[in-house]
Structure 1
């Protein structure tokens, strides 16, 4: 039995199997945009730990910052005491936003979403929150109430959070999206939801991904997000953007909302923020971040080691955004050049790209599994999204040569379907 097979067998014995792996990769170590398995095989990383390793694996600046902080202290609860590093990172983080802001640190994306829901209800005194179908916001009870990219994510866990509503996301495969999708859904909110289901004066917030990740890398029309912002402003409803996957340079801008010329009230972050260490944050307008003392806190949010890594990430990512756009276009064009009848569309921004596979107009799940497995066997790591979308989220620092080679192999495997 190989070492990989032994570890996979032990994994099945000792870990709860409530998640699915795409293929039998057992990682030993990684450097830059290359991952090595326990047998010594190397792979081009087109996944980056689901968009986490923005600066690649083993980044020396991140390692040095974390090591320096380790010599000072690992942890001392920020919710009970003070340290300058937390202030420095918050100051740097809010400098990227179009408002005077404040930060609440968390440990993960789902916790950032949970915090944003509490902030919205606490600030407005309103009860209802409206989310969108096909979204993914996390798997804890509040965030799960707005997650609907796959039925299994919520099917056995009811009752979920009350006073929540889901309305259609502007995906062209949505039955409502015949013709002007944006106007249809915005009209549905104003003319049906607000008149038949809930008074807008009872709605605290809209929660939306500016680009859906797990749902299939779905990019909404610009006018849709702008129209949603207008509805929010007209009714004093907060606009919460979940940028857990899209934030920190992933789309070629520091935050995806910049592509749409909208201004959020609250933004949820995690994944790339901590440079590979568990760190999330909610960034919001100062006047909105007003929960009373004692009403929300955590133990590990703003952990000193994670913040040391984040300080490097926030310094380095703005410098590489032009490369993100350039390599993103290269990968996009390579995938779009596939001559497969099953490639319906390539979507995305920057280095967040999805190749949607369909057969007879329906999701081609078997095709997705085949492309991912065959690419893995040829030394390329990618994952899926939605029902049958190949999702590419490489490190933002990926070299052009590796971006070219990795995306070409995936395009070839799509063509072979």
Structure 2
């Protein structure tokens, strides 16, 4: 049973007290650790596929033939094609996910989602082992789908396990557990790839997902108990239309604000990521120098994220609510892009990149996730999936093409446009804050009319 929130403690004492009073926190930490560790084992493989010069390994023969007949150099548009393909796959999967959520209880569809992912990883082992043509695009798109849907399902499930008060106390710790997994995943890849080969890395990731499946089964007890206090049943299907997620986002001010915040938040990240790649090609022409530059950024992001998660996130949520956690990243990014417009130097680009990613992982995302503890089940599972997948990838594909157009006008124009996108992110945060005030502070989830 989750005990009532006690008096505030600090640092390690607060963490030990949280673990002692809340058995599900242990399983939630293990769940998110294994989920992100399994993902980051595979992320270097995805990045290698996206950067591969062997287009026959990346794209299927039918697409290569189509491009050749029209005189299109497909290798010049690898990332644009992969991002666009990912977006359309997300759209196609939305009705399927909606149908799964509508027709089956959570005790059925949560394990089913992870069993499907595990089966796909076993299939990818065969694809890499046999050098299947087009495996690169297939894997690149699948890993993006896996990351977004698996993480979305995770946080939706956490909103079942923990109520609003406990979410404010525990989500920072849970996020830190995921960050540690994100540390370990690339280390495992570096250590194992020379010994077992790329083809067997999906099996390593599948092993972590098996542990995630065990955690789901163990956490169901607390989810059912918590939902019982909300007059809902874990054994019942959520019901409703498979298109309910889209309709809810269109109709609900809070969900519209979250969608707007997601669209522009991902947009600034996509512009910065693509422009950073162009800057790295200019200032770090060798593979060793570029790798060193990127590795420094990754470690800085992970270090800053875990420090903020452990020391600030929980305190800010309990003291001030979600407002500062949504506004601070948007304001920091707006200032960062303004500085980059004046001085787009590699070190400053790296600094803004670190602040952008770390503030998203440590502040903005925990704040958004706590809001889903105060909405109904359809919003939590269906609308959240639309925002975290279709809106996310829609922003990705929009701004990857916007960047390609703006890049022809120069780096400063890209960052100048980024100021406008960051302002849109700030607007989204403000709209979420306004709508959030109308949510109940208690955990009773009133059904929407």
Length-normalised TM-score, structure 1: 0.26
